[in-house]
Amino acid sequence: MTVVETGSSERVTGKRLLRREDPALLTGEAKYVDDIREQGALYMALLRSPLAHAKIVSIDVSAAKKMPGVTDVMSGRDLQSEWVAPMPCAWPVTQDMKNPPHFPLATDVVHYVGDAVAVVLASDKVAAVDALAAIDVNYEALPVVVDLEDAVSDRILVHPSLGTNKCFVWKVEPDNDKVDQAFASAAHVTKNRYVQQRLIPSALEPRGVIAIPHPYGGEYTLFSSTQIPHILKVMLSTTIGISEAKLRVIAPAVGGAFGSKLNVYAEEVLALALARKLGKPIRWTEERSENSLATIHGRGQLQEIELAADEKGRITAVRVNIIADMGGYLQLLTPGVPLLGGFLYHGLYDVPAYSFSCTGVFTNKTPTDAYRGAGRPEATYAIERSMDLLAKKVGVDPAEIRRRNFIPPEKFPYSSVPGLIFDSGSYLPTLEMALEKVGYQELRKEQERRRSGNSRKHLGVGISSYVEMCGLAPSKVLGSLRYSAGGWESATVRILPTSKVQVVTGTSPHGQGHETSWSMIVADRLGISPDDIEVLHSDTAIAPHGLDTYGSRSLAVGGSAVYLATERVLEKARLIAAHRLEVSVEDLQYKDGSFRVTGSPEKAFALSSVAFEAFTAHDLPEGVEPNLEATVSWDPPNFTFPFGTHIAVVEVDEETGATELLRYVSVDDVGNQINPMIVEGQIEGGIAQGVAQALYEEAIYDEFGNLLDTTFLEYLLPSAAEFPSFELASTVTPSPTNPLGVKGVGEAGCIASPPAVINAVVDALSVFGIDHIDMPASPQKVWTAIMSSQGNGRKVE
């Protein structure tokens, strides 16, 4: 099953090692940006627009400048000369994509509530915040676009200079005639419209930044609560014209991100530019409500999906049209997010005809961008909701409709019609295992008993089978999708003179446990203890190359680079050992920390001795350089495709509309597992986040573009008390894409769970003739649906 070569007789990978990261995090020893002390730093605060769309007539900062503790107050116009380029969007998805200029501070027009217009610098945090109220901005309100269909109509323009609200239209249309024919001759057709509500990522630690100039060295250090120190360094230098060679970016402990810190933000750009301008350290920590407005949102789509199927319910075509909400401007990856799902609306089903079209639109709202799952939760939700509706049309059980359509194992690697190659998969076992684990037949009986017994608490069971695509990504493919960077990852493995090992990775963990997992990979290959391995990351001075952490890429791409760098170090060590043992390299075997001569195992040379030899360099073989170190930049040949089946069991109280999640079963296949405990942690967090989308969370805007739920009082982030214990299981189908056989697990949970939960809620409500409910399925929404259902609140048979 495992493809990894090991140099150890006792394997570390596959064990539930406790995370080495946790003691520092749990005891408060770990330092987040806001914990870092910096003498003489000025505190920055931003004045944000209270209007969603307005002309800035004038800004008067004179009174604010006189406030106690205030050093300086500047408007967007005051700072316009600081920028050499607008803030970056790295994913111009089409040739003609519209990208309005976006600067850290708006100068003439604000485009969403929260768009910053002025900045205060003061000697302490509170003085900076207090001075904001003294800035006098004169706005002239402009008409506002909130609704996505309204945006498409171009009735009101967010950016009049673009002439339209449509940012781009992006299509995957391999053969539209074939799609049309399939629909013309279909025995069953479903056509549905779903709302992907906007979500606020809500990382536990809001964003924060400290920019420190070293005026006499002409250099800068930037601490940021970011997922992407490397990308940030490149982008900051091109946006404000500081030489990349003079900029060091460090991501210290980062308290969660979920994609919301995969960006280049106005505050990072401002802090660095102001540090340059004033020659003083500048610091900023986001407030919680500020986070709801000024950090990207996730999702925000209107989806229309049609399925064509034959009599048996086998799908013959999928046709999808979506409108995706960009918000007021494009952030780093905004337009690319829907694309990441654009190839996957047929789910894990063998579908011969496919058509996808996405229209990105501007609205007067906070910009959207990648949020855990980025595009794949949306795609999975659309197909998995529709599978249930198709099952109903065909008159078969939701489990059966999936069985009839799964891509069969013999078709792997599977070339999908939209153009991907699914690396490996065995889908049916995950469904059967999940059904068995949840006790599906028994639940159906219980459901029937309740229905015939006139219970007012209805049982619902929802299935969601999913495949997703992660391990971002083959650089060539990214290039063909017009993405501005590559998808490789870099790793260095360095064996120190005392034979301790340093691993340098270009990934930037912020909760994923890379230090633990990477040390396990290296420990296995070298046959040494993980305790002797140190993992360094998230500082561009220590780890100069990297493409950071997002898109469930780190293990598949970065972990593989670590593995390959270990191999390469071992090759060099083998040369030195062979030289000292006076045998040829082919005669050596490596196990448990020593090279041994095949056939005469008493002739051995320990890795620790090699390490010292490489250091002293007294007697190295011809042409071999001192030091034991190797660096690998690895570009994956393909994406990886994790999959699985989740089943949710809910109880819906018909009198109140309340949904209780009773049970949640998941069977996931993420390929080989380096540390199953970390895998489970990722799945559990993901499930909770997806259930939150299904039942609780929504960024709610009023017609004027005001975000109404900017605190956790209104924005319903659920807590552990709202969940049952999840029942997890897995199958293992190694990926042939990378040397570790791993797939990736960071997002799977939240990709699978929203449709599982909504399918369950709708299953429970089917007694009322209800066949859909949009997320979040709040009690009021469910109650309203029951009251306005076919039977006006009564059961229909």
**Considering beta carbons, is residue 289 or 484 the nearer one to other proteins?**
289
Q: Residue 690 CB, nearest distance to other proteins (Å)?
A: 17
Residue 617 CB coordination number (10 Å): 12
Q: Contact at 8 Å (CB) between 211 and 222?
A: yes
Extract the tokens encoding 333: 């990856």
User: How far, in Å, CA of 102 to CA of 330, rounded?
Assistant: 8
Could you tell me the maximum CA-CA distance found in the chain, to the nearest angstrom?
Answer: 89
The amino acid occupying position 233 is: K
Taking the complex as a whole, the smallest distance from the CB of residue 716 to other proteins amounts, in Å, to 6
Of 469-528, binders to other proteins (CB under 8 A) are none
User: Candidates 180-188, 413-421, 606-614, 655-663 — which segment interacts with other proteins by CB under 8 A?
Assistant: 655-663
For residue 664, the minimal CB distance to other proteins (Å) is 17
Q: Which of residues 736-755 bind other proteins (CB under 8 A)?
A: none
**Where do we find the tokens 């002739």?**
603
| Helical packing angle, 779-787 and 748-765, nearest 10° | 30
Query: In terms of C-beta density within 10 A (0-12 exposed, 13-18 middle, 19 or more buried), how is residue 128 classed?
Result: buried
For other proteins, the closer CB: 131 or 562: 131
Q: Residue 199, Cα to own-chain centre: how many angstroms? A: 13
Q: Which stretch binds other proteins (CB under 8 A): 350-358, 444-452, 663-671, 717-725?
A: 717-725
* Given 716, 772, 774, 795, the residue binding other proteins (CB under 8 A): 716
Pick the piece of the chain touching other proteins (CB under 8 A) from 163-171, 323-331, 557-565, 652-660: 652-660
Q: Are 737 and 672 in contact (CB under 8 A)?
A: no
Kindly tell me which of 394 and 687 has the beta carbon lying closer to other proteins. Answer: 687
Q: In 99-206, at which residue ranges do the beta strands (DSSP E only) sit?
A: 109-110, 116-122, 136-141, 166-172, 188-199
CB of 287 to other proteins, least distance (A): 6
Per CB under 8 A, which region of 2-10, 733-741, 758-766, 773-781 contacts other proteins? 773-781
CB of 244 or CB of 660, closer to other proteins:
660
Q: Which is nearer to other proteins, 245 or 721 (CB)?
A: 721
Residue count, binding to other proteins (CB under 8 A):
25
**Contact letters (x/-) for other proteins, 265-294, by CB under 8 A?**
----------------------xxx-----
DSSP state at residue 671: B
Closest separation in Å from C-beta 60 to other proteins: 22
In 582-665, which residue ranges form alpha helices assigned H by DSSP? 607-616
Taking CB under 8 A as the criterion, the residue among 138, 600, 616, 656 binding other proteins is: 656
Sequence-ordered strand ranges (E) for 588-655 = 588-591, 594-597, 600-606, 628-634, 643-653
**CB nearer to other proteins: pick between 672 and 778:** 778
The enclosing H or E element of 461 equals strand 457-467
Residues 428, 722: Cα–Cα separation, whole Å:
31
Residue 189 touches other proteins, criterion: CB under 8 A: no
Give exposure, 483-502, as e/b (b: 16+ Cβ within 10 Å): bbbbbbbbbbbbbbeebebb
Query: Per CB under 8 A, which region of 72-80, 95-103, 242-250, 772-780 contacts other proteins?
Result: 772-780
Q: Residue 320 and residue 303: Cα distance in Å, rounded? A: 7
Opening angle at CA 775, ends 654 and 301, nearest 5: 160
Among 92, 718, 736, 769, binds other proteins (CB under 8 A): 718
CB burial string 666-705: b at 16+ within 10 A, e below: bbbbbbbbbbbebbbbbbbbbbbbbbbbbbbbbbebeeeb
The number of residues making up the chain comes to: 797
Q: Which is nearer to other proteins, 219 or 722 (CB)?
A: 722
The Cα 489–Cα 632 span in angstroms is 8
User: Could you tell me which stretch among 160-168, 253-261, 595-603, 780-788 binds other proteins (CB under 8 A)?
Assistant: 780-788
In the list 584, 780, 788, 792, the residue contacting other proteins (rule: CB under 8 A) is 780
Is residue 655 packed enough to be buried (19+ CB in 10 Å), middle (13-18) or exposed (0-12)?
A: exposed
Residue 752 in tokens: 């699978």
Q: Are strands 628-634 and 42-48 parallel, antiparallel or unpaired?
A: unpaired
Considering the complex, what minimum distance in angstroms separates the CB of residue 393 from other proteins? 32
In the 8-state DSSP scheme, what is residue 742? B
Print the binding letters for residues 72-111 with other proteins: x by CB under 8 A, - otherwise: ----------------------------------------
Q: At its nearest, how many Å lie between other proteins and the CB of residue 532?
A: 41
Nearer to other proteins, 515 or 697 (CB): 697
Q: Which is nearer to other proteins, 288 or 476 (CB)?
A: 288
Nearer to other proteins (CB atom), residue 288 or residue 449:
288
The residue whose two tokens read 């003609």 is 96
Query: Which CB, 290 or 524, lies closer to other proteins?
Result: 290
Binding map of other proteins across residues 682-711, x = CB under 8 A, - = no contact: --------------x---x-------xx--
Residue 696: CB minimum distance to other proteins, A = 7
Cβ pair 412, 423 in contact under 8 A:
yes
Residues 112 to 151: which contact other proteins by CB under 8 A? 125-126, 129-130
Beta 727-730 vs 659-669: how paired, if at all?
Answer: parallel
Residue with smaller CB distance to other proteins, 41 or 420: 41
Element (H, E) at 86: none
- For other proteins, the binding residue among 658, 677, 729, 732 (CB under 8 A) is 658
Q: Which of 655, 660, 724, 794 binds other proteins (CB under 8 A)?
A: 655
Instruction: Specify the residue, 183 or 696, whose C-beta has the smaller distance to other proteins.
Output: 696
Residue from 138, 600, 784, 792 touching other proteins (CB under 8 A): that is 784
Taking a C-beta distance cutoff of 8 angstroms, is the pair 39, 213 a contact?
no
CB hemisphere CA count around 250 (13 angstroms): 16
As measured in angstroms, the least distance from the Cβ of 158 to other proteins is 25
Site for other proteins, rule CB under 8 A:
125-126, 129-130, 287-289, 655-656, 658, 696, 700, 708-709, 714, 716, 718-719, 721-722, 778-780, 783-784
